[in-house]
Amino acid sequence: MTTDNRLGDTTSGGDFEALDRALETYGADRTRWPLEVRHALSHLMATSPEAQRRLRQAGMFDRLLDQAPVASAAASAAARAALLERIMVAATHQPRLVHAPAEAPRTRVTPAIGWREHGFAAAALAASLVFGVIAGQTTALGPVAVALVTGVSAGSGGAEQQLAATDEAEGLLDEDLL
Amino acid sequence: MAAIQGDSIAGLGPAPASAVADEAGLVARSARGETAAFRTLTERHLTSIVAIARRMLRDDAEAEDVAQETFLRLWRAGATLDVGPAGVKPWLRRVVSNLCIDRVRGAKRLTVTDEVPEVPDPPRQLAGLESREMQRRVDQALGQLPERQRLALTLFHYEGLSQVEVGAAMGISDEAVESLLGRARRQLKVDLKAEWQALLMDNGN
């Protein structure tokens, strides 16, 4: 036997020891042995009557283990059916993690982008409204305001010009009001 | 979803190319909440899972409780369960193994026993009684094994799992499985020496 204690690592001097270990570990059914163990012991099994005897004894022990009681087939079938139903009933009352399928991509824009666009539109609308009001007031009252301002600033020295400007401004105001 | 849940097993769709694909499909459908798929999985694996639990716990009611909990964990796991190439069976074995070991350890902590080890009875003449007595002795010897040795032997000898599968179910290496199996059988040979010798003599060995 080598220093490695794995079952597959055997030398000719340790074959029986390896056989005993294989039988102790895996039992007498050689199809259950690991492949390397089977290969390592195949020659011994084929040629040694002592190995065959040990194999038969291990087979007897396997038969002994098989004596362990099992439930009768009829009772098992009935109990199995009842248990299956019990599990199904219990499952329907169990909380669980459900896999949610991925949703199809939506065509509408996300709320963040929409609000941003709406914000621009509202701001533009408000700005145009304010601009329009101011522009309108400026157009309607501008000449009057100009005339008044001019009149005040000219003082008493330009009466004809003031009257002329006032008349012109009133005419424009009338037109605007119409 | 109600319509899907009402699907019969026959309505699960065309037969898949392989059992593995079928298993993965059933697990996926069960994860989506299809009770028919979950029922199919449960029907498929219930017997072997109950058998493992029975061997380990040696009590039908407890074994059924553990089996039920195992399958409910499968149901609850839903989409989080990653099914390998061998299907869901290794996962179920691992769960039932852990649950059984927990139960055995819990029972050991809670149960105060005043049992005295029994002396083997002399050989009986009636074959039926002898057989029943043999079963009782083997069952008793198995029950006295440490839980991990018993589990390894149950999975390997009684359930026919390979060494690799036992390791996967128990979460241990091949070498550890080898060690557990060897210790279990050596202990059983000591505990069942009289029965084994009788069997050898009966068969001319």
| pTM for this entry | 0.61
For B74-131, the pLDDT digits (tens) are: 998 877 787 777 889 999 999 999 999 998 888 765 555 445 445 444 444 455 556 7
ipTM reported for the complex surpasses 0.90: no
Average pLDDT value for residue range A61-90: 83
| pLDDT reading at B200 higher than 80 | yes
B115 or B192, which is more confident?
B192
**Residue in A5, A94, A96 to test binding to B, most B beta-carbons within 10 Å:** A96
For A144-176, the pLDDT digits (tens) are: 444 444 444 444 444 444 444 445 555 554 555
What is the structure's pLDDT at A120?
A: 67
Whether residues A56 and B188 touch (CB distance < 8 A) is answered with no
B142 or A106, which is more confident?
B142
B147 or B9, which is more confident?
B147
Q: How far apart are CA B155 and CA B165, in angstroms?
A: 9
Question: Which range is least confidently modeled, A66-80, B4-18, B130-144?
Answer: B4-18
CA distance, residue B80 to nearest chain A CA (Å): 8
* Cβ neighbours of A83 in B, within 8 Å: 46, 50, 64, 67-68
B142 confidence band (pLDDT: 50, 70, 90): very high
Q: At what angle do helices B127-144 and A49-65 cross, to 10 degrees?
A: 90
Tell me the average pLDDT of chain B: 81
Q: What is the DSSP string of chain B?
A: -HHHHT--GGGG-SPPSSHHHHHHHHHHHHHTT-HHHHHHHHHHHHHHHHHHHHHHH--HHHHHHHHHHHHHHHHHHGGG---BTTBTHHHHHHHHHHHHHHHHHHHHHH------PPPPPPPPS-HHHHHHHHHHHHHHHHHHS-HHHHHHHIIIIIS---HHHHHHHHT--HHHHHHHHHHHHHHHHHHTHHHHHHHHHHTT-
Taking phi over 0 as left and psi of -120 to 50 as alpha, with beta for the rest, B204 belongs to left
Q: What percent of chain A has pLDDT over 70?
A: 51
**Residue in B5, B64, B188 to test binding to A, most A beta-carbons within 10 Å:** B64
CA distance, residue A12 to nearest chain B CA (Å): 22
Q: Which of B59, B64, B141 is nearest to B104 (CA)?
A: B59
A and B: number of Cβ contacts within 8 A: 123
Q: Collapse the DSSP code of A104 into the 3-class scheme (helix H, G, I; strand E, B; otherwise coil) and give the result.
A: coil
Among B43, B78, B162, beta carbon nearest to A96? B78
Q: What percent of chain B has pLDDT over 70?
A: 79
For A96-150, the pLDDT digits (tens) are: 666 555 554 444 444 444 555 566 677 777 777 777 777 666 655 555 444 444 4
What is the structure's pLDDT at A119?
A: 64
What is the structure's pLDDT at B83?
A: 79
> Which of A117-126, B19-28, B159-168 has the highest average model confidence (pLDDT)?
B159-168
A90 confidence band (pLDDT: 50, 70, 90): very high
Among A60, A64, A71, beta carbon nearest to B138? A64
**Residue in B30, B196, B197 to test binding to A, most A beta-carbons within 10 Å:** B196
